């Protein structure tokens, strides 16, 4: 596959891709994106983050037109705030998640209505789950605390965008993944070694991108997607030209048409200059 068709849309993962080590859009990346927009290209964020956890850099950057959040569950036209898509887990899927996690002592995060929640007891004892300092700080800054996250999950069972579970060992992660996937009621993916991300059946970063492509009248062959983690794989396959960051996991690199520099080396900007602006 080549990048010969003109790129009309760029879809970007955030963490490990468009964002630098401080979770910001570097000036080099902003400049490349702005030049792409000047050339008539749509810039779209396609992330597993909920809307409430979008960095201020993204919200303030006027050249970003659409955001796809919660792994495809929610599409928002950023300038107007208009909700374009809201794909929630079925109540039956939520019940299956509840039955699974209620038997374990997992750190559970729930996304609904663009916001993110976790149990208050986890917020005050988050270090016990063995997460990195950066991950702890991110969760504390973006997740609201509720008295009982499982009761919150059950109460909001008809409007859950996504459920994330953090683990402190690989065996628990694999066991839970297989159990939920076997229900046939949801989509299960991951963005890091310590978590799984659960969304509605047939909902993913790819489905969000495909929906937006239909709205904008842009076909797959005119899309370029950039990512670094397993939850980006479907998005990369849904685009005509797939770019893996230099810091990507091996499966993402294998799926890519081009491997760019790392996110710390402004790999997104490098790919845009090379394949979108042809500079």
Q: Confirm if 264 and 24 have CB atoms less than 8 A apart.
A: no
* Average pLDDT over every residue of 107-122: 94
* Average pLDDT over every residue of 45-49: 98
First to last CA, the chain: 20
Best CA proximity match to 202, nearest among 114, 93, 55: 93
Alpha-carbon distance values, 2 to 7, 12, 17, 240, 243 (Å): 11, 19, 21, 9, 12
Q: Confirm if 119 and 145 have CB atoms less than 8 A apart.
A: yes
Q: With bands split at pLDDT 50, 70 and 90, how would you rate the model's confidence at 127?
A: low
* Average pLDDT over every residue of 77-102: 96
* Average pLDDT over every residue of 164-177: 93
Q: What is the pLDDT of residues 1-44, one digit of tens each?
A: 344 579 999 999 999 999 998 999 999 999 999 999 999 999 99
What pTM was computed for the model? 0.94
pLDDT value of position 100: 94
Q: With bands split at pLDDT 50, 70 and 90, how would you rate the model's confidence at 128?
A: low
Q: Confirm if 49 and 16 have CB atoms less than 8 A apart.
A: no
Phi, psi of 10 (to 5 degrees): -115, 120
pLDDT value of position 140: 86
What's the mean pLDDT when you consider all of the chain? 94
pLDDT value of position 123: 72
* Average pLDDT over every residue of 234-245: 98
pLDDT value of position 168: 82
* Average pLDDT over every residue of 89-112: 95
Percent of the chain's residues with pLDDT above 90: 85
pLDDT value of position 132: 73
Classified as helix, coil or strand, 115 is strand
* Average pLDDT over every residue of 269-273: 98
Which domains can be identified in the chain, with CATH numbers?
9-86+204-276 (3.40.50.1000), 91-200 (3.30.1240.10)
pLDDT value of position 133: 75
């Amino acid at each position: 596959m080549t990048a010969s068709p003109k790129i009309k849309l760029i879809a970007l993962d955030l963490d490990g891709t468009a964002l630098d080590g401080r979770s910001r859009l570097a000036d080099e990346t902003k400049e490349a994106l702005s030049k792409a927009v000047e050339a008539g290209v749509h810039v779209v964020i396609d992330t597993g983050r909920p809307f409430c956890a979008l960095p201020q850099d993204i919200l303030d950057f006027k050249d970003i037109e659409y955001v796809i959040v919660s792994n495809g569950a929610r599409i928002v036209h950023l300038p107007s705030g208009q909700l374009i898509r809201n794909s929630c887990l079925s109540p039956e899927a939520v019940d299956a998640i509840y039955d699974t996690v209620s038997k374990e002592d997992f750190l559970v995060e729930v996304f609904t209505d663009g916001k993110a929640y976790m149990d208050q007891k986890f917020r005050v004892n988050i270090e016990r789950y063995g997460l990195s300092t950066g991950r702890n700080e991110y969760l504390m800054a973006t997740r609201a605390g509720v008295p009982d996250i499982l009761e919150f999950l059950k109460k909001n069972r008809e409007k859950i965008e996504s459920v994330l579970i953090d683990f402190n060992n690989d065996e628990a992660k694999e066991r839970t993944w297989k159990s939920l996937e076997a229900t046939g009621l949801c989509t299960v993916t991951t963005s890091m070694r310590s978590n799984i991300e659960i969304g509605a059946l047939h909902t993913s970063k790819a489905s969000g991108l495909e929906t937006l492509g239909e709205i904008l009248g842009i076909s797959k062959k005119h899309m370029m997607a950039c990512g670094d983690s397993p939850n980006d794989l479907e998005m990369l396959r849904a685009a005509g030209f797939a770019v893996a960051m230099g810091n990507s996991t091996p499966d993402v690199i294998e799926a890519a048409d081009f491997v760019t520099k790392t996110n710390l080396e402004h790999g997104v900007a490098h790919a845009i200059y090379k394949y979108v602006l042809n500079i």
